[in-house]
Amino acid sequence: MTARLGIGAMLYSQAVPRPALKFQEFIPLAPYTTFRIGGPARFFCEVEGEAEVEQAVGFVKERNLPLFVLGGGSNLLVSDAGFDGMVLRVGGAASKRDGREGESVLLEVGAGENWDDVVLYAVNRGYAGIECLAGIPGDVGGTPVQNVGAYGQEVAETIVQVRAYDLETGAFVNLDYEACRFGYRRSLFNAEARGRYIVTAVTYKLRPGGEPALRYADVKRHFAAQFERGEKPSLRQVYDAVRSIREQKGMLAGQGGPDGRSAGSFFKNPVVPSTALPQIAVNAECSPEDIPRYPAGDGMVKLAAAWLVEQSGFHKGFAMGRAAISSRHTLALVNLGDATAAELIALRDAVMNAVNRKFAIQLEQEPVMLGFSSTR
Ligand code: EPU
């Protein structure tokens, strides 16, 4: 569970010293989220480097404040009342460091770096392993937390170390792959040890000169003509293809318009026993073969939540007040402009209740909630 690579400490502690930390008060959080929703944080602080993390934690502990660590705000719904505690933003002065380990490259990146920039950096150097994770909004620090995944890759496949401040012991630790306990959209950080760690750097193990992953149907389809000519797409072509597919689905980082004011998939794809398929087919009035699904091991299947939502009567563009379902993908809830968190939640509940009524499946929300009395 501890220092194997031992390079994290160097990267993050070398941030250039700055003047005294600023603890700002009553800072509106909406601009820090991709939903563009949410009231103010009682305290807000942006830290760079390990010494500043410790200083900010000292401030929080002295005042016994609740603490929330903010990344890119791309998987977050903040309440209209805001958050009566400290929001800590881990800034990006730390940057990247490439090291070698045999045939592999160890790319160590500070938590505050923009994720898509890191993917492009790797792709441009010919490092394979994260090319299908192009165009995902958010920062590096969030990638191990929810085990970001898309188009046939999961970030956990490449993570060899997460450096983090442990609020329980008051020390920095290097957690290896095993210690992170990754699963589908899950890790130690958002499950059993939720709230315990402040991630400050992540090390990805990549393959220089490696082939791009071509696992997902949408990506393979994109290159159909190229395959017919016997040509293999490059890492950069896969990066561009994934960005273009994400754009068509309204899921591209930085995408404008109402479809861009979302938190990506609002619900996780539910995993159910394959024995449940016949009843699901009856409820959807289709044949079991027509149910979109992916094998999930141990007699389980992962269903497409977007399909369940559509079958339950919610279609692209459906609006309730200023909250809506994306016009490009049924799994994204969007802010049409000035939507409140309450409006988003009313739509969420309507969708979840409808899916539960029709299929007896309880959808699970993906975005983290901040400033609500319960976390879900
Ligand atoms: N579908 C619909 N309606 C739609 C969109 C999709 O019915 O509007 C059905 C179709 O049957 C389609 C299936 O859902 O074949 C799967 O759709 P898609 O390929 O878009 O993937 P997804 O399962 O909806 C997941 C991730 C995305 C990730 C994509 C691609 C989750 C919760 N979501 O979405 O991740 O980009 O696969 O790998 O696992 C995110 O987590 O925020 C996210 C965007």
Which atom of ligand 1 approaches the CA of 307 most closely?
A: 7
**Same domain (yes/no): 100, 244:** yes
Q: How confident is the model at residue 6 (pLDDT cuts 50, 70, 90)?
A: very low
| 271 membership: H or E segment, kind and range | strand 271-273
Ligand 1 pocket test: which of 75, 265, 286, 308 has the largest number of ligand atoms within 8 Å of its C-beta? 265
* 354 falls within a domain: yes
Give 300-325 as a 3 state SS string. EEEECHHHHHHHCCCCCCCEECCEEE
Q: Ligand 1 centre and the CA of 343: distance in Å?
A: 23
Is residue 109 in a domain?
yes
The residue whose CA is least distant from atom 15 of ligand 1 is 292
Residues 241 and 277 in one domain: no
If you average pLDDT over residues 145-153, what whole number do you get? 96
Q: Is 294 within a domain?
A: yes
pLDDT of 236: 98
Cβ partners under 8 Å of residue 330, min gap 6:
306, 307, 309, 310, 314, 315, 316
> Can you tell me which residue has the tokens 């969007």?
334
Is residue 341 in a domain? yes
234 and 279 share one domain = no
In angstroms, what is the span from residue 270 Cα to ligand 1's centroid?
Answer: 12
Q: Which domain CATH number covers 341?
A: 3.90.78.10
225: burial class by Cβ within 10 Å (0-12, 13-18, 19+)? exposed
pLDDT of residue 101: 86
CA 304 to ligand 1 centroid distance, Å: 7
Pocket lining for ligand 1, CB < 6 angstroms = 150-151, 216, 218, 249, 251, 264-265, 268-269, 292, 304, 306-307, 310, 316, 329-331, 366
Tokens of 291: 């149910």
Residues 219 and 120 in one domain: yes
Q: Whose CA is nearest to atom 27 of ligand 1?
A: 150
Tens of pLDDT, residues 209-255: 999 999 999 999 999 999 999 999 999 999 999 999 999 999 999 99
Give catalytic residue positions: 185, 265, 366
Report the atom number in ligand 1 closest to the C-alpha of 267: 32
CA–centroid distance, 363 to ligand 1, in Å, is 14
Query: Model confidence over 268-310: pLDDT tens digits?
Result: 999 999 999 999 999 999 999 999 999 999 999 999 999 999 9
Q: What pLDDT is attached to residue 373?
A: 86
* Residue located nearest, by CA, to atom 11 of ligand 1: 292
- Note the pLDDT tens digit of each residue in 171-220: 999 999 999 999 999 999 999 999 999 999 999 999 999 999 999 999 99
Query: In the listed set 72, 90, 108, which residue is the last one of a domain according to the structure?
Result: 90
Same domain, yes or no: 280 and 215: no
Torsional sign, CA 256, 257, 261, 264: negative
User: Residues 81, 32: one domain?
Assistant: yes
Residue 285 lies in a domain: yes
Burial class (CB in 10 A: 0-12, 13-18, 19+), 89: buried
Domain with 118 in it: 96-248
Give domain status of residue 310, yes or no: yes
Domain count, the chain: 3
**Looking at residues 70-81, what average pLDDT do you find?**
96
Q: CB under 8 Å, gap of 24 or more: what pairs does 119-124 form?
A: 119/239, 120/239, 121/96, 122/204, 122/206, 123/235, 123/236, 123/239, 124/236
Ligand 1 centroid, distance to 248 Cα (angstroms): 12
Q: What is the mean pLDDT of the chain?
A: 93
Percent of the chain at pLDDT exceeding 90: 89
If asked whether residues 222 and 113 sit together in one domain, one would say: yes
pLDDT recorded at residue 15:
52
Quickly state the pLDDT bin for 97 (edges 50, 70, 90). confident
Position 98 confidence tier, pLDDT thresholds 50, 70, 90: confident
The set of residues, in sequence order, having a beta carbon less than 8 Å from that of 360 and lying 6+ positions away, is none
Does residue 184 fall inside a structural domain?
A: yes
pLDDT at 96 over 80: no
Query: What pLDDT does residue 99 have?
Result: 86
Specify the pLDDT at position 7. Answer: 42
pLDDT of 9 reads 45
Tell whether the model's pLDDT for residue 141 goes beyond 50: yes
Q: Kindly state whether residues 239 and 270 are assigned to the same domain.
A: no
